[in-house]
């Protein structure tokens, strides 16, 4: 059984990828231009500095952008969640819900469960919920609106799958917040964990730490990191 191939899920994903391509074209082209001109690291450093000054303002400026995973990465998320037989997923950075759809489809096919998502922008969270409902997966997901350091602070149940795809500078504090609830063997996938003086990568790649971690070849150049909690 593969819920990704059902009409409602496939049509919803198709619509969202088309919308995302249109909405994010100018932003993606600006990053591509920066890379081609040798300015990518400077552009990223500027973005991180903006986040550290005011994360809310930084992401309010892109409230109409999807900033979504690719189709290949979405399928990989589904595969990992199925292989893990995940039933308790946490997603940092829901945006319009594209990655959420892949993970919720995996939950459906695993026999059920719960995905707790968190999104800073209330408008994005509302759109994500509508997209999940359109795909017939909304009953599996709870999207919490606000700063993830607050919205994810009271999780009671054990977590068996994590996706980090929000504000880059918050990956490490969010992971440390979740860590006491991680089941041994939990996959932690981080999108856009760019290897430029990144404390998150230093933490998950530390040989003396609680993770086994390596970069992914999927969407190479986007900084996708795959880690497994071994604690």
Burial 41-69 (b: 16+ CB within 10 A, else e): eeebeebbebbeeebeebbeeeeebbbbb
pLDDT for 195: 84
pLDDT for 162: 98
> CA–CA distance from 225 to each of 92, 99, 126, 158 (Å)?
15, 15, 28, 22
Q: Binning pLDDT at 50, 70 and 90, where does residue 39 land?
A: confident
Show Cβ contacts of residue 32 under 8 Å, excluding neighbours closer than 6 positions. Answer: none
> CA–CA distance from 214 to each of 38, 169, 187 (Å)?
25, 19, 12
CATH number of the domain to which 126 belongs: 3.40.50.150
pLDDT for 194: 84
Q: Binning pLDDT at 50, 70 and 90, where does residue 61 land?
A: confident
Residue 71 has pLDDT above 90, yes or no: yes
pLDDT for 133: 98
Average of per-residue pLDDT across 46-65: 84
| Total of domains in the chain | 1
pLDDT for 62: 86
The reply to whether 148 falls in a domain is yes
The reply to whether 60 falls in a domain is no
Regarding predicted confidence, which is higher, 37 or 118? 118
Please tell me the distance from the alpha carbon of residue 126 to that of residue 138, in angstroms, as a whole number.
11
State the chain's mean pLDDT as an integer: 94
Regarding predicted confidence, which is higher, 50 or 108? 108
The reply to whether 146 falls in a domain is yes
Show Cβ contacts of residue 92 under 8 Å, excluding neighbours closer than 6 positions. Answer: 118, 148, 152, 162, 163, 164, 165, 166, 170, 171, 174
Residue 28 has pLDDT above 90, yes or no: no
pLDDT for 46: 81
The reply to whether 56 falls in a domain is no
Residue 85 has pLDDT above 90, yes or no: yes
The reply to whether 154 falls in a domain is yes
Note down the domain range covering 141: 66-229
* Angle subtended at Cα 178 by Cα 73 and Cα 78, rounded to the nearest 5 degrees: 20
Strand intervals (E) in the chain: 88-92, 114-119, 141-145, 161-164, 187-190, 211-215, 225-229
Q: Is 27 helix (H, G, I), strand (E, B) or coil?
A: helix
pLDDT one-digit tens code per residue, 180-212 = 999 999 999 999 898 888 999 999 999 999 999
| Main-chain dihedrals φ then ψ at residue 185, nearest 5 degrees | 90, 5
Closest listed residue to residue 20, CA positions, set 73, 64, 75: 64
Residue 106 has pLDDT above 90, yes or no: yes
Please tell me the distance from the alpha carbon of residue 183 to that of residue 160, in angstroms, as a whole number.
6
The reply to whether 142 falls in a domain is yes
Query: For residue 231, how far is the Cα from the chain centroid?
Result: 22
The reply to whether 15 falls in a domain is no
For the chain, how far is it from start to end, CA to CA, in angstroms? 32
Average of per-residue pLDDT across 135-147: 98
* Angle subtended at Cα 12 by Cα 93 and Cα 100, rounded to the nearest 5 degrees: 25
The reply to whether 81 falls in a domain is yes
pLDDT for 222: 85
pLDDT for 70: 96
Query: Roughly what angle, to the nearest 10 degrees, separates helices 98-109 and 122-135?
Result: 40
In contact, 141 and 88? CB cutoff 8 Å: no
């Amino acid at each position: 059984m593969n819920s990704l191939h059902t009409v409602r899920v496939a049509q919803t994903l198709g619509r969202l990828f088309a919308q995302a391509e249109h909405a994010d074209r100018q932003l993606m082209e600006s990053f591509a231009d920066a890379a081609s001109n040798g300015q990518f690291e400077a552009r990223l450093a500027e973005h991180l500095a903006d986040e550290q000054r005011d994360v809310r303002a930084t992401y309010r400026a892109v409230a109409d952008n999807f900033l979504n995973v690719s189709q290949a990465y979405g399928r990989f998320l589904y595969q990992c969640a199925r292989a893990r037989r995940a039933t308790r997923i946490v997603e940092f950075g829901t945006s319009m819900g594209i990655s959420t759809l892949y993970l919720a489809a995996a939950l459906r096919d695993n026999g059920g469960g719960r995905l707790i998502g968190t999104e800073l922008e209330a408008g994005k969270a509302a759109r994500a919920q509508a997209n999940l409902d359109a795909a017939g997966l909304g009953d599996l997901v709870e999207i919490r609106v606000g700063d993830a350091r607050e919205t994810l602070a009271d999780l009671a149940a054990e977590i068996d799958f994590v996706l980090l795809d929000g504000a880059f500078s918050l990956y490490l504090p969010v992971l440390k917040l979740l860590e006491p609830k991680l089941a041994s063997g939990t996959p932690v996938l981080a999108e856009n964990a760019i290897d430029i003086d990144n404390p998150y990568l230093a933490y998950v790649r530390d040989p003396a730490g609680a993770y086994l971690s390596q970069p992914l070849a999927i969407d190479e150049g986007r900084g996708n990191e795959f880690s497994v909690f071994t604690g």
